[in-house]
Amino acid sequence: TNYTTTTGIGFGDVNIDTTLGDVHTANIVGVTTGAGGYHAAARYCDKLVYGGHSDWYLPNRAELNLMWTNKLSIPGLRTAAGNYYWSSTESAANSAWQQYFGTGNQSNTTKQGYNYIRCVRRFGVGISDPSAAVIESGAVTYTITYSSDTATVNLTPAMISLNGTDTTGCSVSVSGTGKVRTVTVENCSGNGTVGISIAAGSATLSGGETVPALGPSNTFIVENTSLNCPTGFVEVLGSATLGTNDFCVMKYEAKNVASTPASSSTGNPWVSINATNAFNACAAMSESGFTGEFALISNPEWMTIARDLETVPSNWSSGVAGTGDLARGWSATTANDGFVNSAVAPSTGPSCLYNSAANTCASTGTHKLRRTHELSNGSEIWDFSGNVWEWVDWSTAAGFTSGPTNGTASWQELTTLSGSVTANDLQSTGGYTSAQQAGRWYGDSGGAALRGGGWSGGTNAGAFTLYLSRAPSGTGTDIGFRCVYRP
């Protein structure tokens, strides 16, 4: 059967599609015939009544691959040459992912083509990712979702076991009613990873079957050893993916205090300084009791902050991480916001938290124009996006290092890579773009990295914004910097 054209159904990355196939399927069949056709593959599964059940759906890319992995135990699968199966995962507006059941290879193809389908249904229960990736204190929750044919839910704290590298002090509670329950893990006092597993029997299906054991879940990280940071700096939790250890970063953009960078809420950012001089200014910093390294923030450290803040609900307009707009700060431009700035924010503090009108701030306003971000450990950082561009050292090697010089010289979405720029150089974990106010990026041959965007960047500004057109010798009244401290 064929798939037919739909848009905005859901995208999966190379290894896993984090949106379950039943959600994709519901989205596909929810598109009217006039907007995209009959959607035969998804609609067949959605309408299927078989074995006394009506909650069948077209599997997503990851679920389809799991079927292929277990193909020897699934009767009737077509594994001969030329046999492809549809997934419900879109790869572009007019293409979707398929899997060749001869070799297991996945590829994308036009939705107008014809493939086999195998409808699936979820058995019993699903467990979400943790609500936070890294914590120092507080609670982390998991959402437990039982299938539509669940008759009774019997989940209690006694049925939940903790796993990971250090679960010291952690306690577990269960809340909720109906087919959705919340497992809360809190009071953890160790330093390591924590996850959960659920014992068999947490629910009974309408046919009398007992839900099997589930887990282990994806884990979160507990870090209870806080850094002692220099004056005006805040702690940032490191990222194994990006190769960073815990470090301290200036809470505010650097200010010029007697030719020395300072993190302070008073005064305007230090601007009209080139990348090399910004690097040297940070490196020359010192403070009694701090024997580590002061440095210009590196790109991996910038990305560590950006990927951390994208997980924090308060940074999103909806209060739910990944939904709505990320704050992009003092960055208004007429095309995106109805007014445009021509200078830095007039002050920094609670009374100037939002960019409320041209060159004007207020204590309240539109979320996307808020100037602060909260990190997962509770640290607050100002003007990480907007106000002035900030020089970034591409690596932590000796001397200032530039970034790639072969990226496309035009504004492009963060999801589009060109030249030798990689995903870890600029992309969010959630795949966010300017549509979520995460920013855009610009390549070119200059190579010296600027991040965050300036006072009138609009949707080109954002926590993930990257600009590579300048040479290290370049300066501007809208270009500043920010230092870090590495213990």
Contact assessment for residue 106 and residue 85, using Cβ atoms and an 8 Å cutoff: no
Q: What is the pLDDT of residue 482?
A: 98
> What CA–CA distances, in Å, run from 262 to 188, 193, 298, 394, 482?
35, 35, 18, 22, 9
For 391-410, letters b (16+ CB in 10 Å) and e give: bbbbebeeebbbbbbebbee
Distance, in Å, from the CA atom of 242 to the CA atom of 224, rounded to the nearest integer, reads 21
Strand, helix or coil at 390?
A: strand
Find the DSSP H helices in 5-160.
Answer: 21-30, 33-36, 40-47, 61-69
For residue 433, the 8-state DSSP code is -
Residue whose pair of structure tokens reads 């009071």 in the numeric block: 187
Q: What is the pLDDT of residue 124?
A: 59
Q: Residue 31 is encoded by which pair of tokens?
A: 């598109």
Q: What is the pLDDT of residue 60?
A: 86
| For the chain, counts of helices (H) and of strands (E) | 8, 29
Q: What is the pLDDT of residue 23?
A: 57
Q: What is the mean pLDDT of each run of 10 residues along the chain (487 residues)?
A: 35 35 59 53 87 82 84 82 86 85 87 89 77 84 87 95 92 95 93 91 85 87 86 93 94 97 97 98 97 97 97 93 95 97 97 98 97 93 98 93 97 96 95 96 97 98 98 97 97
Distance, in Å, from the CA atom of 244 to the CA atom of 419, rounded to the nearest integer, reads 24
Distance, in Å, from the CA atom of 116 to the CA atom of 147, rounded to the nearest integer, reads 25
* Burial group, residue 82, by CB count within 10 angstroms (0-12, 13-18, 19+): exposed
Q: What angle do CA 290, 293, 299 make, to 5 degrees?
A: 135
Q: How far is CA 270 from the centre of its chain?
A: 30
Strand, helix or coil at 330?
A: strand
Distance, in Å, from the CA atom of 93 to the CA atom of 397, rounded to the nearest integer, reads 42
Distance, in Å, from the CA atom of 268 to the CA atom of 257, rounded to the nearest integer, reads 11
Distance, in Å, from the CA atom of 213 to the CA atom of 81, rounded to the nearest integer, reads 36
pTM of the complete model beyond 0.85: no
Contact assessment for residue 451 and residue 465, using Cβ atoms and an 8 Å cutoff: yes
